[in-house]
Amino acid sequence: MRKILVAGNWKSNGTASSNKALVEKLNALVPGANVDLLVCPPFVYIPSTLECASGGHLAVGAQNCSATEEGAYTGECTAGMLKDLGLEWVILGHSERRSLFGETDDVVAVKVGLALAAGINPIVCVGETLEEREAGQAEAVCLRQMEAVLARSEPNENWVIAYEPVWAIGTGKTASSADAQQMHSVLRKYLSEKVGETAKKIRILYGGSVKAGNAAELFSKADIDGALVGGASLSADEFAGIIAATNA
């Protein structure tokens, strides 16, 4: 049985004080949660968030890492540096990184390899745009993105895949639970073909306007093992509601 993972991607939001208040409230709202909980603050707030989360139920991860190792790469943060901070998780290949910052499938694959080499578990994001879905290319796009990563790295049971239909991120639109399950099933089958029984242990999250009101229906599906939450993770009450939905 795969343990549910609910991960919050704070994106470029928060301050030291607001993050502290958010973590403290979350720890009060979700004591002893029977799911894995993760928050991913901006780079500059990782150390302070780690301090606030210490002794609680929240793990802390990063939203990205460099496609380089240490060296003369101004402004970059390597996977090794994240590991040095004590992190175990990093989000890679998020659609905003792909669309706004030009990250290709190959760049994402390199980052995944570097994260693994540093001992950090990747949350590998895949997903199609509305145009690609309407053209009947949704599955092909997601599998192409997966193939690039698997060409460089072999998944283990600590990997996480996040299916995020691009058209549902930050728009208020959500794929139906049936549509989400269908894509998750496709990804699980693909992983089974590549890594056999290990695929049964790899968690596949859904991301894309997940809220407390739609989380229970999503979590009820066989191949949806949690959520990668954006805006709703900035509200302790809403994020706690999503976590509570894992028991619905």
Residue owning tokens 């578990």: 121
Q: Which of 96, 103, 132, 164 is catalytic?
A: 164
- Exposed (0-12), middle (13-18) or buried (19+): which is 13, by Cβ within 10 Å? middle
**Three-class secondary structure of residue 167 per DSSP:** helix
Is-contact 247 33, C-beta < 8 A?
A: no
Q: Which of 94, 96, 103, 238 is catalytic?
A: 94
- Let me know if 184 is a catalytic residue: no
- Let me know if 164 is a catalytic residue: yes
**Three-class secondary structure of residue 42 per DSSP:** coil
- Exposed (0-12), middle (13-18) or buried (19+): which is 93, by Cβ within 10 Å? buried
Instruction: Specify the DSSP element, H or E, that contains 37.
Output: strand 36-40
| Bridge partners of residue 161, in order along the sequence | 124, 204
Provide the annotated active-site residues: 94, 164
